[in-house]
Structure 1
């Protein structure tokens, strides 16, 4: 008991309670295989939920090929939601303490891995940044957000004769596994989980533009709806042995042309601020700076 409220795990009878914190979170709770009740927590007063916190495994957590690298960071992403209600800092503190405690339990299962509890916060949200900095978080990474004005023409580039780009449905296990293996190869062992990959296929207006040479999966750009007239062009990758052949820019241009035909006005993507090669590619295509997002993290001992 904390004051006149308690914190407890979400259980099977809490579907309606979770739904009150938003449609997306409700759908994750019901259908996303990576959302587990043992990693979800409610602050409850008089049978009314005040806030909900949950912990999910970031793409880096189960990255392949880094077991011998003690400096490789494996993130656990924590989120706290007060729904439509006003935030209570005491409740927020208690839920964050609970997320940290749960992260320490996970760390105990992986004692040799470097594990960090993280939050993604826009640079303009000084209140959230201040809160987490006061709680011992520090800045780990800066993410650059870039946008493409779809009222502009989309450039056209030559594509190697042996490469085709087409929309590709990831609607069965074989297709998702082919994508997953290519993503791991492209991002040094880091990839969406198969649960998350399957989940994303139900995202509004999701289209995967994929490059192939025969049956070989070479790369991808995905689009999905963010808001009216606004879509993402994310998950841009090409497997290492097929890079420097113009495939990435053609994948992006295929996605941008599609979004333009759909009447979208802007497309955005994010990349790490240290990724000079990607930033150069995007800006040369015509993407412009839209803002920054910080990764704030708390090292778990």
Structure 2
């Protein structure tokens, strides 16, 4: 039998494969693959008393939980009360191999030697924060990468702390919570970290992974000193968190709260203290407004008085004209 020859041109041979690729990459398939984002509060079934209060709407502010001293045992509480929380994975591990060895990675890989072979485990460290006084870190370990990441993020939400901020630099004295109010020290293993207040605009003069945590906490300017084996990033991060916790444990006077512009946790608009110049400007504006209101009232009163006088004059004129007419009529009679 004679073989059939291909009558297709060079551009028609891959037509079907091209159509399949276009179907795979079509926007309709993208819409199908996208999962609907369901709010956490709809699928969450709380177990603890604190979680039930948050679910029912009795607690709506994270400040109330920290003031009561209750421990957060469900990560969904943080998701409900702080919906704008940001997450970031820290570079605690390093790549292995001839070409990529030494580069930092988010996974710290370890192996256990057994008779069956090598058992690999992955360790990750996540940091969460709202950039306004709340931050937390957590670690997660698993045989696979995705579960390790999820574990670390959940634990970071459970380890959330409140950060004390202020302006303790003698070079700045702006009374805004852009730095730390005073020096604080933290330690983990051989690593020791000292945080010191810096003036506005200086930036985060600290190790890169520590800078990520401070940025999530809402601190913009800081100086630091480090001692010990700082290449162990887990100990470095833990020492930094210890320093942030020690900031809140130091006792302060009521005078220093105003002087250093100290804010505990979330910064509210009512907590911003106005300067004497701003108070004087507000008083002047109120005085000017009062004078303008009085002048307007006086102008209205004078206008009303003039209108009343004109009306009275017209009434008198009309009455006089009528009396004259009546008198003339009687005289004619």
Structure with greater strand share of residues: 1
Shared fold, TM over 0.5: no
- Bigger Rg, structure 1 or 2: 2
TM-score by length of 2: 0.20
TM-score by length of 1: 0.22
Structure with greater helix share of residues: 2
